[in-house]
Homo-oligomer: A and B are copies of this chain.
Amino acid sequence: MAAERALTERLARFFPQGPRTLVGIGDDAAVLDGRHRRLVACCDPVVAGVHFTPAAPPALVGRKAVNRNLSDLAAMGAVPDWLLVSLVLPHRLPRARLDALLRGVRAAAAAAGAAVVGGDVATHDGPLVVTVTALGHLPGRALTRAGARAGDTIHVTGPLGGALAGHHLRFRPALREGVWLARQRAVHAAIDVSDGLALDLATLLRHSGGLGAELDAAAVPIRAAARRLAGGDRRRALGRAFGDGEDHVLLWTQAAGAALAPGGPLTARARRAIGRVAAEPGLWLRHGDRRTRLAAAGYEHDVPGPG
């Protein structure tokens, strides 16, 4: 039996079969017991040279490939059930690196209670590409990007900026927070902050019918790495919080003045607003009495534009 077959059989042993998995790794497709009517699905790749550097430990690359999809599920208020993992490997990838990658995938899946149920392996003359599809279900309503209203306060589950110093490989998807937020009636819309606070907030506002927002410069929580990378310069650190991306915290809006239920997974910090949704389009940043225009800029792939 040649190497690819051997690897597929190894994967079938490596990844524990989850509950509700009728046919797992090794057949043409997985068969899953979808007892929940509302299925949630997303699919994002990580690519060497784009989403991680050659120096990134492969176990953390596997972890990131899973967790960035789980963060998308979290932003919908979904619970993960199953993962499919497509690996496009560079020729001559050392076995130890592949094994570490797979261990990272398995650990992240296990931490979230999800089972790896299928996927594919190919090799090519190019960079490592790990594409994970995450499937889950909704215990309550779906938390979309489309429900924000003028006057809502804006919140984030954690600090922002400087993720490339390490957080982007090690973050924990806010799964408990997403499910909990979906249960709060006062919460109107949510998004996974992956491309930067400014850009993802702008996306949420556009999906909510073309609203705007004003953020409070003093209230935006800044990750320690962003302050460090900014050499202690508060303005530059704030720029990083707005534009660096890969934070994978949840941003949500809620009815002004509404109190969320006590308890739950949110920090006290996350319950404090960082800004407010406005009826007029445009992003503004308030510094005390001044306010300045904030560009909706962040990480974007240079895809072919409109013709």
Q: A38–B49 contact, CB under 8 A?
A: no
Docked CA distance A32–B142 (Å): 11
- The docked-state distance in angstroms from the alpha carbon of A27 to that of B301 is 17
Chain B positions within 8 Å of A305 at CB level = 3, 6-7, 95
Of chain B, the residue at the smallest CB distance from A300 is B4
Instruction: Give chain B residues whose Cβ lies under 8 Å from the Cβ of A86.
Output: 43-45, 131
CB distance B84 to A43 under 8 Å? yes
Q: List 11 A-B contacts (CB under 8 A).
A: A3-B304, A4-B303, A5-B199, A10-B306, A22-B142, A29-B42, A41-B117, A41-B135, A42-B118, A45-B131, A123-B303
Find out whether the CB atom of B93 lies under 8 angstroms from the CB atom of A304. yes
B-side contacts of A28, CB under 8 Å? 42, 72-73, 75-76, 145, 190-192
- Complex Cα distance A122/B5, Å? 30
Show the binding face of A for B, using Cβ within 8 Å: 1-7, 10, 22-23, 26-45, 47, 49-51, 72-73, 75-76, 78, 82, 84-86, 88-89, 91, 93-96, 98-99, 117-127, 129, 131, 133-136, 138, 142, 144-146, 190-192, 199, 203, 207, 296-297, 300-307
In the complex the two chains form, is B301's CB within 8 Å of A4's CB?
yes
Contact of A144 (CB < 8 Å), options: B27, B99, B297, B306: B27
From B26, B190, B300, contact of A3 by CB (8 A): B300
- CB contacts (< 8 Å) of A129 on chain B: these are 45, 88, 126, 129, 131
A29 with B124: CB separation less than 8 A:
no
Query: Shortest Cβ distance from A9 into chain B, in angstroms?
Result: 9
- Are A118's CB and B29's CB within 8 A? no
CA distance A127 to B91 in the complex (A): 14
A111 smallest CB distance to B (angstroms):
19
A84-B34 CB under 8 A given contacts A91-B302, A300-B5, A306-B6: no
In the assembled complex, the Cα of A36 lies from the Cα of B34 at a distance in Å of 7
Q: Measured between alpha carbons, how far is A123 from B88 in the docked complex, in Å? A: 15
By the criterion CB–CB under 8 Å, are B7 and A207 in contact? no
